[in-house]
Structure 1
Amino acid sequence: MSEDVELPPGYPVQWEADVVLRDGSVGHLRPILPTDEEKIHAFHARQSDESIYMRFFAPLRRLSDKDVHRFTHVDYVDRVALVITVSDEILGIGRYDRIDATSAEVAFNVSDHYQGRGIGSVLLEHLAAIAQEFGITRFTAEVLPQNRKMLTVFSEAGYEVSRKVEDGIVALHFDIEPTDRSKAVAMSREHRAEAISVSRIMRPRIVAVIGAGRSPKTMGHHFLKNLLEAEFTGEVHPVNRKAKAILGRTTYDRIGDVPGPVDLAVIAVPAPKVLKVVDECAEAGVAALLVVSAGFGEGGGEGDELQAELVRRVRGSGMRIVGPNSFGIINTHPGMSLNASLSPTMPPVGHLGLFSQSGALGIAVLASAARRNLGISTFASAGNRVDVSGNDLMQYWIDDDDTHAVGLYLESMGNPRKFSRIARNLGLIKPVIVVQSGISAYGTPPGHRVRRTKVRPAVFGAMLRQAGVVRVSNVHQLFDVAQLVVHQPLPAGRRVAIVGNSAALGALSAGAVAGRGLTVTHGPVSLPSDATLEEFRDVLATAFDDPDVDSVMTCFIPPIVAHDEDVTEAVRAAARGSDKTCVATFLGMRGVDSSTHIDEGGTGQAIPVYAMPEDAAYALAKATKYAEWRNKDHGVPVAPAGINRRVAEDVVHTVLSVSPEGRRLNPDETRALLTAYGIEVWPSRRVTTVEEAVEAAEEIGYPVVLKSAAPMLRHQGGITGVRVDLGNAQSVTEAWISLHDRLSPLAAGQLEVQRMATPGVACLVSSDEDALFGPVVSFGVAGLPTELLDDIAHRIPPLTDVAVSELISSVKAAPVLHGHRGSTPVHRAALADLIARVSVISDDMPEVVSMRLNPVNAHPGGVEVLGAEVTVAPMARRTDPGRRSLT
């Protein structure tokens, strides 16, 4: 939205979004404005007679000023209209008008010139999400039978649509509550659009270098030179007003003079000139930009403002942007040979996709890969990451047949929730290896737009594990793992054979393997240093043929009798004849030192070679753990029965209407909210006198518990703040006197009475809404394990039944739930059901910013929620809002 446009009262800025359309271009979606009247007239004037008739059921060649006024003046509640624009031109309009409390009529109009780009689907998706915010659960629409395109928009959205033909018009009705199918359709469309969008960047046919200078000292010169020397298979055109030719290529004064539609424009001009160049690229119809210029958000101050304006202009013009301050992009495919980067040499062709953010790290990453002779499929440096990010590249890599594994060096993360979702989809078919650096509230690199997070670092690690990501600590480990998963089959299990020609090296290898959680089931077999080549082959064959072996680790020092290359080839031959994983440590061997021998073209089952056994064991353990995650049952999304979301929304909206800034719910409000999601909270009564305590106990029913209501004591247990199993008035009176006398000096004398629960294990179940991560669900055994030892586990909703089970099992204190020292195990299914309900609440309702169920009493017969605290606040916009949006 242009900053000089005056917004009407109630204008919902939070509905604005940049969305990737079906062809990979970007459109800006926003609520309609009263100032859009002339734009609506212009939009209508461009439409064909047929399109006008399809929309209005009449040949209205010109809309009346009265109609346009009605279209553009809405209340953003009962009457809502959205438009999608590119370069401030309206491409599509979608609207709904409320019919009654729960239903509305919806209609769309898409420009003839932009049909087939998925504009109608995007508008429907966003309108449905907005309508649900105001209690609308059902859409109706009237469509002419011949309007097949609009009928397709509804039928392919994933909703259950009913149709009825009346008077030559098709009346459609459908519930807009998200279903598994509608969610899957939206995510599939998002994936396809974003993958196509990145493909136009990574597979361009025409590249222009703007700012390519004659001086070898200029950045533009380097980019042009590297493109040409890599023998890029497409067209390369330098743009420079001050030169006729550069490096033998004819130059053009302006980007608009370059022949043909430019897929990618490399911008290498000083930062103050970038915006003017961007406007010229937009006018020329350039699809995407690679901005390598520095001087933006990384410097702060005016650079931040310049960067924000850069994003606004690029996206407003329908383009994507890599950078600014980017090191560049590379695609090694022989049919592309794209080196639009500062790397003077192309990496070897291979199957590892790489992503980094800063340019300096890009240099280090590529250099490390080159030293190992590890082939690369594609590489991208996001720079300040104002638009194209690791999430976008992962969408592209899902479909890229040239990429078999992915490595990402992440210094920041702008959308962890979306990252988790995409990484999980990618990880199911290809390993995702992540070097994490500085993902915290304090480690954001300059120039990166990241929301502040309050969650513990453990949440980030839990998110990665939940998504099946292979997490490593540095680039060295990234390539250790990558050279294994790219060139070897994944381990089928944890059983390892160790074969070598040194007893000391074999023992060291066995220790390293066992230390990483793997099991040595064969060997270590140690040949003498003077063993023959045939002996080497025999022991290798025996190890690979052993049915109790999943992976083989070979550890050789330079042999005396056999030639080192002969031993290497023997290992390769044994591995090629088996479907088992093979890793090698060749100490001092020539030609394979810290390298992977790759067949020509980057294909074949090469052997990953490591300098030390510890490195090999580390990579093997990571690959094994990833294989286990990939092959396991990931479960189905939790969908607890008996949920009434509308009642919960009424509770929250009622509270926020009175307390707009939010507050903690009182006990009755808390009980009503949780009951709507099938969670019963045991009642308790605060008491201030012994008489009130006895009266409360008799109302609740004996036996009861008398406990302190002070926050510092209420969940501690023990004799300090609680008296249990009180069976009559006399015991309540004695307990009151004891606790009141003991706790009053500590200002903890406020007490409460509650029914006595079945003896069990006290647990904590909670959820928190974080500005960066969105909802985070946590679980732990209450008391000392969580408060002193920080033994608490986390997961990011939405959860599956398997994820809930893993959450329970992942805390160190989990054995107390499962029959520790002969006790009867708790009712795990009931505990899992409670956690599932909490996860659904947190996912459904961003307004629930904090929820603590503590204590949750888990026992063999079930679970009881004995205490609950809920805080609500106005809904913040999530980084992954449930409808397509570039954030």
Structure 2
Amino acid sequence: MPRSRGLRARQLHVDPAGLGGRPRVTHVTRELDRYAADALLRDGSSIHIRAIRADDKDRLQAHFHGLGFDSVRFRFLGAKKDLTPAELRYFTELDFSGHVGLVAVRRHDGEEEVIGVGRYICAEGNHRRAEFALAVLDAWQGRGVGTLLMEHLSRIAAADGIERFEADILASNRKMFAVVTALGFRVDERAQSDVVHAWFPIKLTPEALRASDERTWRAASEGVRALLHPRSVAVGLRAYPTLASIGKLVDLVIVAVPAAGVEAVVDECARTGARGVVVISAGFAEVSDEGRQVQRRLRDRVRECGLRLIGPNCMGVINTDPAVSLDATFAPTFPPPGNVGMLSQSGALGVAVLDYARALDIGVSTFVSVGNKADVSGNDLLAYWKDDPRTQVIALYLESFGNPRRFARLAPEVARRKPIVAVKSGRSAAGTRAASSHSAALSCLDVAVDALFEQAGVIRTETLEDLFDVVSLLATQPVPRGPRVGVVTNAGGPGILLADACEARGLQLPELSPQSIDALRAFLPVQASLKNPVDMIASAHADDYARAVEIVGADPSVDSVVVIFVPPLATSAAGIGQAIARGAGGVPLHKPVLTVFLSSKGAPPALATGPRGRLPSYSFPENAARALAAAEGYGRCCAPRASSSPTPSRSLRTRRLRPPSGWDSRSWRRRSRPASCTRAMSGA
């Protein structure tokens, strides 16, 4: 790694003025000398980044001795055998104004190990320029440690008014050039023999912010992948007293012991090399302030040791990938494999969600019950699902937001690729109180949640029933390209109900083309209504359904098709289901086909036998209209486009916002505008 020109021999061997006993304390110092943050490496494991302290001398010396020959040469521009006491004082007793230093650490057996060191020193007489230096243990190079240190240093420096970083880098130090380039800044350089002088502005440009977000999302995705794709899991018929007694490396550990024993188990997980922990146990932040403190210690412990943790107070995780087939939950139901990624902040509700998914035949790719979200959050899972090829639709049950600003940047990126459907509970004061005692959820203004979801392109539903209705459509059918709906029914009343529900939600029932009407007239009875909705009357049989669905679906004025069936005495629902499935096979593939079976028996299995596979089915016309309107709004708002963020659209909600009683419309608009959503949720 490079040596900063501010770290030349004179400064390396002489204590800077004012650092005789304690560093000078300035306003910046009081903040930065306690600087600490957790970060994710490229493989998804975590490290702890903190300010260098005066008591780090032994750790820094051990770090130096762990550097290889080339790493020492790159860092100091020459060979070096040891750090002198004077150098150690200079490197650890900092003023955190003109000289700022950070270390990346991992904890082993209760002791910190320094794996990376980064610092910058302001140029003499020019506080707008600073020279930087990095050194990372050889075994940790290439994993993102240096990039993270540089990212934290550059943000600290920019906040303190520094405009530019620079350093002398050996021309052969390609890794350092890769670190600087990865930051997303524009780098200039000037060659001087075998040394290159490089400099770059550290202002956080959109390109740099984008690069930082992409690194964070990829790292979060890898961390979740390690939890959902373990190579080995500590479960089975044979029992072991400890993890160490297993005698093999365990990737994922499911913890279901009393809360008082969880910390000891996590410590053993770190010692034995586990990569992930799922804590089923309850009794943490959701029950008391003392439990909240224990949960914080648990979070800090796993992050210092490089683990990722789901929970506590959760139901577990599921991965239906046949190559993994992981069921680490206490749910009695294993869902069918499919393309829906599900998150539930409630464990008990997660059990019901899985049961409902199986009953509706909604295939699940992965399911995660996050519980109190001490470490792995909904944002981490969104980052994972964003690039997961098995997940095409994301369903969320949320009680709180941990980092709404990160959600506001990440969710639009995900929504442009695949739809996100969410239920957010805790709207009312009573609901908020219940959420805080249930999963340690923090309250947030519901108007802000609405604004955040609309800004991000998330489909918000009021109920779990609506969520499953929308997911059932999006998981099996294409997103509609427009609001025009063609309706085929064997009864006038349900068709009218559907027409009313569609129009109330911004959908349209256009007139069919003359060609379509002529084709329908050729086989339907004279009593049938050939307008849209097409009412074939109760005598319609299976072949009528198949032909009518294909004709209406092929009409150029129709973007989607809804087929309604009310079972008369003489007609078999199974035969009609098979005919609808056959007719749907003739509808252009970019148009969704929905069905409504007005029967207590529900839709027949034959509905899934056609070329398009399973067709979504609803018990009532209004359910189909709500789901279709939500999908159409998503398509209009978030269809792949070049813009950086989706256009807000009220149709992404399955309800309409109205000013509460006593509010005038102007103050309502001011409070509900999307620009203020993350500020309103900053305490969440």
Both proteins in one fold, TM over 0.5: yes
Closer, same or farther: CA 488–385 of 1 in aligned 2, 3 Å: same
Q: 2:52, 2:102 within 8 Å by CA — same for their partners in 1?
A: yes
Q: CA deviation at 1:77?
A: 1.7
- Structure 1 residues 636 and 351 mapped into 2: Cα distance closer, same or farther (>3 Å)? closer
Preserved contact between residue 167 and residue 198 of structure 2 (Cα < 8 Å): yes
Whether the 8 Å CA contact 2:541–2:576 is kept in 1: the answer is no
- Deviation by residue 1:682-716 (Cα, 9 ceiling, x = unmatched): xxxxxxxxxxxxxxxxxxxxxxxxxxxxxxxxxxx
Aligned to 1:834: none
Q: Percent of aligned positions with the same letter in both sequences?
A: 37
Task: Please state if 1:539 is matched with 2:548.
Answer: yes
Q: Does 1:272 align with 2:296?
A: no
Sort the Cα spacing of 1:286 and 1:792 in 2 relative to 1 into closer, same or farther, 3 A: closer
Equivalent position to 1:138, from 164, 170, 183: 164
Alignment partner of 1:387 is 2:363: no
Q: Is the 8 A contact 1:386 1:449 kept in 2?
A: no
Aligned-residue offset at 1:534 = 2.5
Letter in 2 for 1:53: R
Question: Structure 2: how far apart are the matches of 1:574 and 1:124?
Answer: 60
1:363 alignment partner AA: V
Aligned to 1:196: 222
Q: Which has the higher strand share?
A: 1
Deviation at 1:521, TM superposition (A): 1.3
Whole-angstrom distance in 1 between the partners of 2:644 and 2:368: 34
Aligned to 2:352: 364
Instruction: Give the count of matched residue pairs.
Output: 612
2:89 matches 1:98: no
Matched residue SS, 2:257: coil
* Residue type at the aligned position of 1:67: E
Q: Could you tell me how far 1:269 is from its partner in structure 2?
A: 1.2
Cα distance change of structure 1 residues 115 and 64 upon mapping to structure 2, 3 Å threshold: same
- Equivalent residue for 2:154, pick from 125, 128, 153: 128
Matched, 1:55 2:43: no
What is aligned with 1:354?
342
Deviations 1:36-65 (A, max 9, x none): 111001111111122111111222111001
2:342 and 2:396 in contact (8 A); partners too: yes
Q: Partners in 1 of 2:606 and 2:351 — Cα distance?
A: 20
Q: 8 Å contact 1:386–1:448 — kept in the other structure?
A: no
Report if the CA contact (8 A) 1:530-1:560 is conserved. no
Q: Identify which of 93, 96, 100 aligns with 1:76.
A: 96
Q: Secondary structure at the match of 1:446?
A: helix
**Distance across 2 between alignment mates of 1:13 and 1:621:** 54
Write the mapping of 1:212-223 to structure 2, written as runs, cut at 5 A. Answer: none
Choose which of 479, 482, 492 in structure 2 pairs with 1:490: 479
1:566 aligns with one of 575, 582, 585:
575
Q: Any idea what SS the aligned residue of 1:377 has?
A: strand
**Contact 2:577/2:606 (<8 A) preserved:** no
2:143 to 94, 107, 117: 117
Which one of 511, 515, 538 corresponds to residue 529 of structure 1? 538
**SS at structure 2 position matched to 1:297:** coil
Inter-partner Cα distance in structure 1 for 2:609 and 2:339: 12
Please tell me whether the aligned partners of residues 130 and 162 of structure 2 are also in contact (alpha carbons under 8 angstroms): yes
Counterpart contact for 2:394–2:419, Cα < 8 Å:
yes
When the two chains are superposed, the root-mean-square deviation of aligned CA atoms in Å is 2.7
CA distance in 2, matches of 1:389, 1:29: 20
Is residue 545 of structure 2 the alignment partner of residue 556 of structure 1? no
Q: Report the equivalent of 1:582.
A: 593
Does the 8 Å contact 1:297/1:447 carry over to 2?
A: no
Amino acid at match of 1:530: S
1:257 paired to 2:281: no
Whether 2:485 is the aligned partner of 1:465: answer no
Equivalence for 1:613: 621
- AA in 1 matched with 2:472: Q
Q: CA deviation at 1:583?
A: 0.8
> In the aligned structure 1, how far is the partner of 2:132 from the partner of 2:559?
58
Contact 1:49 1:61 in 2 (8 A): no
Secondary structure at the aligned position of 1:401 is classed as coil
Equivalences for 1:434-833 in 2 at 5 Å? Answer: 434-438=422-426, 442-443=432-433, 444-446=435-437, 456-522=445-511, 523-577=532-586, 578-579=588-589, 580-588=591-599, 590=601, 592=603, 605-631=613-639, 635=643, 785-787=665-667, 793-796=672-675
Contact 2:230 2:251 in 1 (8 A): yes
The structural deviation recorded for 1:309 is: 1.3
Structure 2: 5+ residue stretches without partners: 1-21, 512-531, 647-662
Counterpart-to-counterpart distance in 1, 2:463 and 2:169 = 57
| Aligned 8 A contact 1:144 1:168 in 2 | yes
Distance 1:637 1:303 in 2: 39
Alpha-carbon distance, 1:22 to partner: 0.6
Q: Is 1:26 matched with 2:46?
A: yes
Q: Is the 8 A contact 1:532 1:561 kept in 2?
A: no
Is structure 2 residue 394 aligned with structure 1 residue 406?
A: yes
Q: Deviations over 1:565-621 (max 9, x none)?
A: 22112211222332211111112275627x896579xx9542100000010111001
Q: Distance in 1 between matches of 2:47 and 2:196?
A: 30
Q: Which moved more, 1:182-191 or 1:331-340?
A: 182-191
CA deviations 1:234-275 (Å, max 9, x no partner) are: xx45xxxxxxxxx3x3x3332123344321111111111111
**What is the TM-score of this pair, normalised by structure 2?**
0.85
Pair 1:89 & 2:118 matched? no
Which has the higher Rg, Structure 1 or Structure 2?
A: 1
The CA distance in 1 between the partners of 2:441 and 2:156, in whole Å, is 25
Equivalent residue, structure 2, for 1:169: 195
Task: Pick one of 2, 5, 15 that aligns with 2:35.
Answer: 15
Amino acid at match of 2:501: A
Equivalence for 1:770: none
Instruction: Determine which structure has greater relative contact order: mean sequence separation of CA pairs < 8 Å that are 6+ residues apart, divided by chain length.
Output: 2
Quickly say closer, same or farther: Cα 1:387–1:572, change in 2 above 3 A: same
Question: What TM-score, normalized to structure 1?
Answer: 0.66
Partner deviation per Cα, 1:374-424 (whole Å, 9 max, x = no partner): 111110001111111111111110111111101000011111111122111
